[in-house]
Structure 1
Amino acid sequence: MVIEDSLGINTQLETQMQHIVDTYQCEWKTAVESEEKRATFMPFINSEQQSKDLGYQRVRGQRIPVTIVDPQLED
């Protein structure tokens, strides 16, 4: 907030801020709404197919990536 515009930049700052407000886009919303972008996340959406890239293990009945398994948590 500029109280006294002694530098004469208030108009410029307001214009820049309005541009940001007018052109804002939520990247996640765009990814969810775009089939093309959403396809890049398919291995991570709730899918019954096994991912070839990630190993999974069941811990207390839940499927989690092997890389975060704590041996003390195993069934």
Structure 2
Amino acid sequence: MVQPNTVRVGHKGAKATWRKSSYSGSNGDCVELAELGNSVTLRDSKDYQGPVVSVGWRAMTTFVSALKSGHMVAGPA
């Protein structure tokens, strides 16, 4: 699997349109993402002011492809 070439962690001050994951349950444990130029930014939907993680598009598409193909499986929380 290709490793992301850029990962930034911190607060994002840019205006973004956040979307919840289509797999989000009704318990409020959700991941939201926003598309910001050349990156995808993720955050915990319960903590709007909290930290975010930004990764490049290539890293994000590699990650999603690995999930869809079964190369990565979600474990117990």
TM normalised by structure 1 equals 0.20
> Where is the helix percentage greater, Structure 1 or Structure 2?
1
TM normalised by structure 2 equals 0.20
> Where is the strand percentage greater, Structure 1 or Structure 2?
2
